[in-house]
Amino acid sequence: MKKIMYFVFLGVLSILVGCKSPGQNDSGGEVACTPTVTVATDDNGNTTTTTTECDGTVKVEITDADGNTITTTTPPAGVDNLGSVGGIWRGTFTPNDKSKQTTYYKAFITPGRQMVMLSDSEASLEVQGSDMMQSTAFAQTSDAITINLKEYVKENDGTPPVNVVVTADLIPGDSIKGTYSRLGETGAVLFIYDPVYERGDRTPFFYTQSTYWKISKTLIDASTYQAAFSINESFKMAGVGVDGMNLTLDEEGNIIAYEFPAVEPDTEGCNYDGNFDIVDTHYFIYNITLKVTGTECSIVGVYKGLATLEEEYSIEEHPHTHYEFMTFGASDGERTINNRLTLEFFGV
């Protein structure tokens, strides 16, 4: 019993020693962070190795005299890898190779663990606004969250999608922090939760029902890409004409009736027909499915993904607020369609 108590005492002592802040020296000044490792051995040859990582993770490895090992890991404070991961997150992919650039992403994650990420490159001169990642698997265990994604380039130039794997710790409603790998490249991932996209006491259907959205952007050849979309009262989404709504006005100029423009392809010759619906009423995240057709269209296929709304604003003498933009991303397994649309008309 004495030897057992001695062994336990050494294990606890090593944990306490290892818990000194790895980001500070003895005088409290900041230093370069390195993991803290302590080793203790009892009279029977049992060895306890305690490693405190820079993020606060504590790993205790106990090896007996026969070489058998037991390992336990305590995550940093607040980590709950089985917690809710839903919502909108903003963050970075930072390569370990410092000659490569950090990439900024906006991530949509549903409570059912579907994920779409769009790179911060909406000002590009391509039809599609961003490079996009979309999850193919999303697993949560007590040890970590593991996300398997496919990365699509915005050019849709035939480049096959690339597999990306993210392994991270989750602090629900706060952060996702870990590492990634893609085609031999490795690096750090950090995403911060954005509570602005929580619905609160607002009614999400008001923002998309009976609405008309447009996009107009300059392309690399100096031409202009244009497209418009209608979402009707049943949340059917279609590509329509870009010249605006057909309005009927009374003598005082008030709108008394309206119709969406006729169905038309975008300036790339692509027709869009699909559906749009809220995923979970706690968040402004929507499912989007679009069937793309057209004899001159280069991206024919069925695309599935997610969308969200941005830039809330109030309207005088109107019963609820609205949102200026809709950002969406979808793929057909080989290519992506994604962009930021501007709200032009709402009927509710």
Beta-sheet pairing, 255-259 with 132-140: unpaired
- d(C-alpha 286, C-alpha 182), whole Å: 28
Q: Is pLDDT above 90 for 10?
A: no
Q: Quick check: helix, strand or coil at residue 13?
A: helix
Which of residues 195 and 203 earns the better pLDDT score?
A: 195
pLDDT for the residue numbered 82: 94
Q: What are 298-308's pLDDT values in tens digits?
A: 999 999 999 99
Q: What are 76-112's pLDDT values in tens digits?
A: 678 999 999 999 999 999 999 988 889 999 999 998 8
pLDDT for the residue numbered 312: 81
Which fold is adopted by the domain 87-197?
A: Lipocalin (2.40.128)
- d(C-alpha 153, C-alpha 181), whole Å: 17
pLDDT for the residue numbered 21: 37
The order of strands in the sheet holding 47-52 is 36-41, 47-52, 58-63, 69-74
Q: Which residues pair with 192 in a beta bridge?
A: 90, 175
CB atoms within 10 A of CB 180: 21
Q: Is pLDDT above 90 for 19?
A: no
pLDDT for the residue numbered 162: 97
Q: What are 125-144's pLDDT values in tens digits?
A: 999 989 999 999 999 999 99
- Phi then psi for residue 13, to 5 deg, are -60, -45
Q: What are 300-348's pLDDT values in tens digits?
A: 999 999 999 888 887 777 767 778 899 999 999 999 999 999 999 988 6
The closest of 343, 346, 347 to 327, measured between CA atoms, is 343
Q: How confident is the model at residue 261 (pLDDT cuts 50, 70, 90)?
A: very high
